Amino acid sequence: MKKLLGAYDIRSMILITSLYHMKRADYIFSRVLPPGVRIETYSVSTPNFDESWWWSGNSFVILLIEFVKYYWYVITINGF
């Protein structure tokens, strides 16, 4: 992705992913892409996650796993 954006001198991109995954995806893309690339985010609903009832059932488990993954990437990318 990084090479492709550089080869075509692309200055912005649209990042589309599920709402619960957006924070981690945006964080990773912002760290690995060249500094001049602007990232526009757009979240979509997914059948496995209910935004209005995030604290119940499978949605809470998905958020908990995503929380762990996010901080794992923060530690990995920053080298803590």
Each residue's pLDDT expressed in tens, for the chain with a length of 80 residues: 667 777 777 889 999 999 888 999 999 888 888 888 899 999 998 887 777 766 677 778 888 888 999 989 888 877 66
- pLDDT (0 to 100) of residue 38: 92
CB-neighbour burial class of residue 49 (10 A; exposed 0-12, middle 13-18, buried 19+)? buried
- pLDDT (0 to 100) of residue 80: 61
Q: In 8-56, where does DSSP find H-type helix?
A: 22-32
- pLDDT (0 to 100) of residue 68: 92
Q: How many CA atoms lie within 13 A of 6 on its CB side?
A: 7
